[in-house]
Amino acid sequence: MIDLRSDTVTRPSDAMRQAMASAEVGDDVYGDDPTVNALEALGAKLSGKEAALFLPTGTQANLVALLTHCQRGEEYIVGQKAHNYLYEAGGAAVLGSIQPQPLDADEDGTIPLDKIAAAIKPDDIHFAPTRLLSLENTHNGKVLPLDYLQQAWALTREKKLALHIDGARIFNAAVALNVELSEISRYCDTLTICLSKGLGTPVGSLLCGSDEYIKRARRWRKMTGGGMRQAGILAAAGIYALQNNVQRLKEDHDNARWLEQQLREIGIEIVSPGAQTNILFIRQSAYHASLLGDWMRERGVLMNVAPITRMITHLDVNRDDLQRFVGLWQQFLSQHPDK
C-alpha cells in the first residue's frame, strides 16, 4: 500500500528494530532506565534546554506541558486550528480546568501578535488569568519564520507569559530552514518533539524545558498515566531516529514539492502555499471527493479524501510510489470527468 494519510503510519526500519532489541533497560519510573535517560539527555542537548521528559504520545506530552504551565482556572492562548486545541479531545479543559483562548491564525500559520496582545486578560476577578502562549511549528506543514518566533518571544517576555511550542514536526521546520533545532527552540520556554511521525519511531514524544519545569512535569506524567517501566526498548528507537532520521526529512520535503508539481501538471488545484515541508493540500470538487478515496484504495493507495485533501510524504513512500500515484490520479480523472 502507498499510504499518504499521515507520517504517523511510518514503520520502524530493521536497523531501528535492532537498536530496540538490544537496548539496555531498567525501571524508568525509578529513573533507572539508562536508555530513556540517554534519550532525554539527547533531546535536551539538541533543543538547547536543560532537561527533557519521554512520554508515550504527543497528545500526552502537550497535555502535561499545559498542566505544568497553568493552574486550574487559568488560560492559554492558542491557534483556532492548533492540534493541542482542536484535535486532542479538549484535554486541557476537561482534565486540567485550563481555559483555552483560541485565535485565528494567518495563512502562513502565525497568530498575529496584535491579536495575541489584545487577548491577554487584565488582572481582574472577572477573567481567567492568561499564563501561556502556545504555538504550533510546523502548522499544517507551514514553517513559522524565525523573526516571528523572536517577536512572539519578546512579547511573552514583556507580558510575563510562558511560551510553549507544539513541535510535533519541529524537525521538519528546522530542516526546511536549514538551521539547528536550538535556533528555533531558543524562542520558547518549552517544546514537544514527536518521534513517531517523520522520524519513524513506533511511539513516543519528548517534552523539553528547564530542570525545574521538567521536575514538575514528571509528576504530571505520572498522574496522567504516562509512567513506563522498561521503556528503554522504545527510547532506543528515539535515539536511533534523532541520530539517523533528521536530515533525511529533506527527502520527504523534496518528494512533496515534486508531487505538487506533478499534480499541477495534471490539473489538480493546489492549496496555497503548496508544500513547504512534507504536507500538501489540494482542492477538488465534492463529486471527485466522493469517489476518489475508495477508487484509490482498490488500487493500493490510502488517502483521507475530502474536498480539501491533505497528503503527507514520509520515509515509507518513495519517488517511484509517488510516480505510480500520479499515474493513478490521471487515470481516475480520465474515467470520471468532473460534473
Residue 324 confidence class, pLDDT cut points 50, 70, 90: very high
Mean pLDDT, rounded, for 238-265: 98
Residue with cell 499521515: 6
Question: 137 with 279: CB under 8 angstroms?
Answer: no
End-to-end CA distance of the chain: 29
Instruction: Tell me the pTM.
Output: 0.95
Average pLDDT, the chain: 97
Quick one: angle between helices 286-298 and 319-335, nearest 10? 130
Q: Residue 107 and residue 227: Cα distance in Å, rounded? A: 38
3-state helix, strand, coil in the chain (%, to 5): 45, 15, 35
Mean pLDDT, rounded, for 41-59: 98
Give the cell for residue 173: 521546520
pLDDT in tens, 280-306: 999 999 999 999 999 999 999 999 999
Q: Which CATH architecture has domain 10-244?
A: 3-Layer(aba) Sandwich (3.40)
Q: Residue 4 and residue 256: Cα distance in Å, rounded? A: 11
Give the cell for residue 95: 482534565
Domain ranges of the chain: 10-244, 248-335
Give the cell for residue 254: 523534496
CATH 3.90.1150.10 fits 248-335, yes or no: yes
pLDDT in tens, 93-131: 999 999 999 999 999 999 999 999 999 999 999 999 999
Question: 168 with 197: CB under 8 angstroms?
Answer: yes
Residue 339's pLDDT is 76
Question: 127 with 157: CB under 8 angstroms?
Answer: no
Mean pLDDT, rounded, for 37-46: 98
Residue with cell 508539481: 261
pLDDT in tens, 170-225: 999 999 999 999 999 999 999 999 999 999 999 999 999 999 999 999 999 999 99
pLDDT at 338 over 90: no
Q: Residue 26 and residue 43: Cα distance in Å, rounded? A: 19
Q: Which of 164, 101, 102, 158 is nearest to 133 (CA)?
A: 164
Q: Residue 331 and residue 118: Cα distance in Å, rounded? A: 51
